[in-house]
Amino acid sequence: MYNPFSLLTPQLLDAMTKQPMYFVRQYYNRAFNELENKIPLLFSHYSHHEINKERANRHMRLLKTDKFRFMYDSSKKEDLNRLKMAASQPEGYKIYTNVLLKEWHPTNHIKNRVYCYLREKLSIESNLWNEKIKIQLQDLFGKLYLRISWSGTKVEVLLDEIENIYEDVL
């Protein structure tokens, strides 16, 4: 699986917590590596505004079965200290945050999968190879989506669906 997110570092955390933030922690399957004996976690950040507090709370509700779920408030000293410990990458864990340190562009592999998905799953019959298709990556509650647009049409699809389009084919 493709993982575009950055490792949480002390420097990145310092930059992010210049203003108060909420961080929602969850298990991050996309970063699982069976060769490493580490638990991958994702820390999604939300600014300290009322609407984002509700988004953070909703994110927590969506993670009700995730045993790693937790919400930090960086304005609380105890939570900030826990965040600093997480940013030090403690042994046994690999901790990411939903920050893209550089502009994301889809690989040719992803582009090909998008074309196949549009043709096979959405039954789009036009000659997509001649269309200018815009593909953007977005994060929503710790899940990655592709926002795909062409000729005035827009769809959002879980990146997992694009990556696994042929999983049921022998």
Long-range contact set of residues 103-111: C-beta below 8 Å, sequence gap at least 24 = 104/4, 104/136, 104/137, 106/135, 106/137, 106/146, 107/2, 110/2, 110/135, 110/146, 110/162, 110/163, 111/135
**Is 141 or 123 the better-scoring residue by pLDDT?**
141
For the chain, give every domain's residue range: 6-97, 108-163
> pLDDT by residue (tens digit) across 89-114?
999 999 999 998 788 899 888 888 88
pTM equals 0.86
Average pLDDT over residues 75-98: 97
Question: What pLDDT is stored for residue 167 in this prediction?
Answer: 61
